[in-house]
Amino acid sequence: MPKYLIYPLYVAVFAVILAVAVPRKDIYRLSIHGIIFGGAAEFILHMFGKFTGLYVWYDHGPLGYKGIQIFSPVSWGIFFILYYYFLPKHKPLNYIYMVIAIFFSILYTNLVISLGVFYCYDRFFVPLIAFIVWFSVATWGYYKLNNFIEKKEAIARQENKYQP
């Protein structure tokens, strides 16, 4: 199997897990969060890594454009939908959950480094710092954006309640 097919395989596996584990209405609800904090954030981090030389993707084959792996942001978007669906609502548990997600993301990074499709200046500290920042911003942003959306929906329900 060519190395450039690893990411479509990851996307397929994550998509099957998503379809099996998360109800459709929650997929729709969490998609905007996954797109913003998963796919778009991965693209931004990818550009940062490319410009600084700290990390880059190898062997895109026909599935990349100008050094950008197309399926990686899709995979992270799906991952973050799963992440948000299982994210605990209570404070101490969500910190533990985030630390576990960061740990497994570092393992994932080391896996793709070992497969030869990703280069990183360091196998532990660079991914650790990147994932701490990424997951902290993504979790905080999810709570803020989710509260904003829920307030807007509550106002809309309240307004519709009083209309004839």
pLDDT in tens, 15-43: 999 999 999 999 999 999 999 999 999 99
The token pair at 49 is 């890594």
**If you write DSSP's letter for every residue of 11-37 in order, what string do you get?**
HHHHHHHHHHHS-HHHHHHHHHHHIII
CB 30 within 8 A of CB 85: yes
Q: Encode pLDDT of 51-70 as tens digits.
A: 999 998 876 778 887 777 88
Split into its structural domains, the chain has a count of: 1
Q: Which residue range is the domain that position 83 belongs to?
A: 3-162
The token pair at 154 is 């509550």
What φ, ψ does residue 64 adopt, rounded to 5°? -140, 165
pTM above 0.85, yes or no: yes
The token pair at 153 is 């929906």
